[in-house]
Structure 1
């Protein structure tokens, strides 16, 4: 082994007369490599924990806003509001001639009342309501009520006529429960 005076490194003499620096054990360089992955894992865990915390907090606030927006109380239960009582009056099925020769419509409907106290008034006016329905539907052609828009228009016209017969806006809505054309 030779000592280089300029650098202070020791060298091993080779067969050809060349010398190379002696290898020193790299104990010091291995320790920082082990610490770097540990620091990287720690940073990754902190970042993941932060993201999970942000998601949890935003989920909590979103949930609490939705519950409060729907009228719930602090326990997350919806407050018990009294549901509006709906009264439906069923009409007998109608089998009617349409405006074209040989075309028929079988329709069954129900009337939704705006107030349950009007039920007696409606039952007394059923013959007049049926008359208005028969006159209106028999004036329609099958093409005018074949598509959804035509059915909605017929529904609106029937609702208007029925309320005109009664004299007040007693009927809130009209529902077709059967609608068959032939």
Structure 2
């Protein structure tokens, strides 16, 4: 009988030891996986959040009129992506006014070019939604900065591989 009890105690000790060893290996693997793979993607998303926060702060500062040169005028993008020409009806009474404008997106990460190409229809839709809410008196040099900031704020959540840092307009025509 005593021999059977000692075998059970020895077997229980081996099971507990193997379970502890297994838990240590799983914990070490989880830590390594987190530190190698997930930690890097978390810092990228926190960089994107930080950049978006700085854009919002810059928008608030420029809307208050505290700075002589705006935030977006100071940012020069490494790359640009042509979204295309837009012709939209403006939100004026009577619906007789329209805006024709060419839009270019500014960014610094070359990896973003492929994603912008893939998501061009969604980006165009976001730009159209913003432009259609504007009136003729909104399309002036004072308000263009806030329109650009609004576009960046609405387009950046659509992107995963990087963020926009500027918007460029050309060929602006209102009637």
The answer to whether the aligner puts 1:104 opposite 2:111 as a matched pair is no
Q: CA shift at 1:104, angstroms? A: 0.4
Please list the CA deviations of residues 138-170 of structure 1 after superposition, one character each: whole Å capped at 9, or x if unmatched: 01111122x211111111111111112225651
Looking at structure 1, the residues matched to 77 and 131 of structure 2 have their Cα atoms a distance apart, in angstroms, of: 30
Looking at structure 1, the residues matched to 112 and 100 of structure 2 have their Cα atoms a distance apart, in angstroms, of: 27
Give the equivalent residue in structure 1 for 2:84.
92
RMSD of aligned alpha carbons:
1.9
Assess if the C-alpha contact under 8 Å between 1:85 and 1:116 holds in 2.
no
Give the equivalent residue in structure 2 for 1:126.
120
Assess if the C-alpha contact under 8 Å between 2:77 and 2:106 holds in 1.
no
Looking at structure 1, the residues matched to 122 and 84 of structure 2 have their Cα atoms a distance apart, in angstroms, of: 14
TM-score normalised by structure 1 residue count: 0.50
| Greater Rg over alpha carbons, structure | 1
More contact order relative to length (CA 8 Å, sep ≥ 6): 2
The answer to whether the aligner puts 1:113 opposite 2:107 as a matched pair is yes
Point out where structure 1 has 5 or more consecutive residues left out of the alignment. Answer: 1-83
Point out where structure 2 has 5 or more consecutive residues left out of the alignment. Answer: 1-75
TM-score normalised by structure 2 residue count: 0.52
Give the equivalent residue in structure 2 for 1:53.
none
Segments of 4+ in structure 1 off by > 6 A?
A: none
Assess if the C-alpha contact under 8 Å between 2:77 and 2:166 holds in 1.
no
Count of aligned pairs between the two proteins: 98
Q: CA shift at 1:88, angstroms? A: 1.1
Assess if the C-alpha contact under 8 Å between 2:85 and 2:102 holds in 1.
yes
Looking at structure 2, the residues matched to 96 and 167 of structure 1 have their Cα atoms a distance apart, in angstroms, of: 28
